[in-house]
Amino acid sequence: MPAAPLETGHAMRIEDVDPVHSRPFGAGPGSLGIRGFGCALVTATAWLGVSLWLALPWMAGLAEKIGSVPTWLIVGGIALAPGFMNAFQTASLLQRPSGRYREPAAYPALTVLIAAYNEADQIADALRSLLGQKYSAPLDIVVIDDGSQDGTATIVRETFPEVRVIALACNAGKAAALNRGLAVAHHALVVTVDGDSWLHADALRYLVLEYVNGPPNTAAVAGAVFVGNGDRSWSSRVQYWDYLHGIAATKRTQAAYGGTLVAQGALSLYRTDLLREIGGWPQSLGEDIVLTWALLSRGYDVGYAERALCFTNVPETFGGLLRQRARWARGMIEAFRHHPGILRQRRITTFLVGWNLLFPWQDLAFTFAFIPGLVLALFGQYWLVGPLTLALIPSAGFIGFVMYRMSAKVFQQAGCKVAWDPLALVFYTLAYGLINHPASLRGYLAELFGQAKTWGTK
């Protein structure tokens, strides 16, 4: 069955191809619902209660030195709030059902947009991975060359004649390039892929399977993005574990409640009619998160296809990583500015969005309390970092194991293997916050003071 025409205003749903197997609202693979949410919330609250009970003697001693209010702000930011979040996430992940996809009678045709800027060295890999997809419907691949100066458009035209190329005269930014591609999209579903990424052969099929098996109001589906250059530098080695553990687990948790908060540009699927309805991608640093929140604020669900594997190149220097995380932090602030009403919605997703309000507090506490406390501990002063901190390592290890097993299972199903790099894993577990928290704080301040917005990660 071909994709529904755009003028109908509806992309293909599983109800269109097989009404007998249609799913009720909110019953997509891996979804939890109110009961699962309640169980995770109770578990996290219990964890918070035990943590607070154990921390009270330490907090009492600290309060004598710096006062009660600073003590609660510091301990809450570096231990209690993150512990609650980790417990909620772990309880949610352990409850997730192993949902099975139902195959549609036919797959829809897709328009694939690649916004590329100076990607001459990498875009061929992205296009080969797209042309090699095990996907049974037509793909209309459109490369929008965003004013590249390295011959990206020429390489695509000469090497891949089946790919449409739109060459912009000057660099206008990723959002503008994607919107130019959206204007010429022929099909009811649009997929975005980054020019420095490559896809597993089944990636598009699993993106669509997640979409057609999901709730009827699904507007977008994020793919599962992992690191493709994890062996290139110490920075990329550490990020390999961040994407494998933290980012993947966060998206699995959010998707279980119908609210993946970022359908990232590296690999995501969207309903074309809804993209056009909201005006496409906004001109912002975090165009993907701002766009995703535009869909969520209108009551739509955003899914996550954990088996739609995409491998992307991450910054290979710590300077590039710092700039990237600062940009992500600015994108979160942009999303709140564009969609403040999202916090007034009466749905589980609002709880997950609300977590973002706590991040600046945690970043401040970690940067200005935990890091100095770590330095003091090296000199025998355990006011902020001491023996109780070591007690958190077993719980962090358990959470990490749960995250690892889920990603490792997905890799195994795809015929891939997790690269075992224990040194980078230890650094990620114990010291990654030394990079992320200050970088995020830098991003908040840059947005607060209106600094110029540049991509700045390469």
| C-alpha span between 143 and 157 (Å, rounded) | 10
Mark 216-245 as b/e (b = at least 16 C-beta within 10 Å). bebbbbbbbbbbbbbeebebbbbbbbbbbb
Is residue 288 a part of any domain in this protein? Answer: yes
3-state secondary structure of 168: strand
Structure confidence at residue 429 as a pLDDT band (50, 70, 90): confident
Tokens representing residue 444 in the block: 């908040």
pTM here is 0.89
| DSSP assignment of 340-383 | GGGGG--SHHHHHHHHGGGHHHHHHHIIIIIHHHHHHHHTT--S
Residue with the larger pLDDT of the pair 120 and 1: 120
Within-domain flag for 78:
no
The C-alpha torsion from 130 through 133 and 139 to 142, rounded to 10°, is 0
112 closest CA partner among 133, 132, 139, 146:
139
Q: Which two tokens stand for residue 352?
A: 């997950």
Question: Which domain CATH number covers 302?
Answer: 3.90.550.10
**pLDDT over 70 at 3, yes or no:** no
DSSP structure string for 266-279 = TEEEEEHHHHHHTT
pLDDT more than 90, % of the chain: 68
Domain count, the chain: 1
Amino acid identity of residue 233, one-letter, is S
Strand, coil or helix: what is 78?
helix
Q: What percent of the chain shows pLDDT beyond 70?
A: 90
pLDDT at 9 over 60: no
SS3 state at 112: strand
Sequence-separated contacts (24+) of 15-23 with Cβ below 8 Å: 15/216, 17/104, 17/105, 17/106, 17/212, 18/102, 18/104, 18/105, 21/102, 23/213, 23/214, 23/215
Q: Which of 260, 134, 269, 267 shows the shortest CA–CA distance to 188?
A: 269
Q: Tens digits of per-residue pLDDT, 333-343?
A: 999 999 999 99
Based on the number of CB atoms within 10 Å of its own CB, is 278 exposed (0-12), middle (13-18) or buried (19 or more)?
Answer: middle
Residue 457 has pLDDT above 70, yes or no: no
- 130: enclosing H helix or E strand: helix 123-131
Nearest alpha carbon to residue 370 among 356, 355, 391, 386: 386
Residue 449 lies in a domain: no
Task: Tell me the C-alpha distance between 209 and 110, whole Å.
Answer: 13
pLDDT-based confidence at residue 220 (cuts at 50, 70, 90): very high
Burial zone of 326 (CB within 10 Å; 0-12 exposed, 13-18 middle, 19+ buried): buried
Q: 306 lies in a domain?
A: yes
* 1 band by pLDDT with thresholds 50, 70 and 90: very low
Helix, strand or coil, per DSSP, at residue 14: helix
Round to whole Å and give the CA distance between 301 and 307. Answer: 19
14, 21 contact by CB (below 8 A):
yes
Dihedral Cα 141, 202, 405, 268, nearest 10 deg = 30
Distance CA 75, CA 72 (A): 5
Q: From residue 236, give the alpha-carbon distance in Å to each of 119, 223, 240, 247.
A: 19, 20, 6, 15
* Tokens (6 digits) for 173: 């930014």
Which tokens hold the place of 48? 């918070």
In a domain, 255, yes or no: yes
Q: Which two tokens stand for residue 391?
A: 């007690």
Is residue 303 situated within a structural domain? yes
Looking at the predicted structure, is the pLDDT value of residue 129 above 70?
yes
Q: Who's near 157: CB < 8 A, 6+ residues apart?
A: 165
Indicate whether 235 belongs to any domain.
yes
Tokens of 68: 């009660």
Question: Domain range spanning residue 238?
Answer: 110-350
380 in a domain, yes or no? Answer: no
**Distance, CA of 78 to CA of 81 (rounded, Å):** 7
The pLDDT assigned to 452 comes to 78
Residue 454: the pLDDT is 66
pLDDT (tens digit per residue) in 182-213 = 999 999 999 999 999 999 999 999 999 999 99
> What's the pLDDT score for residue 411?
92
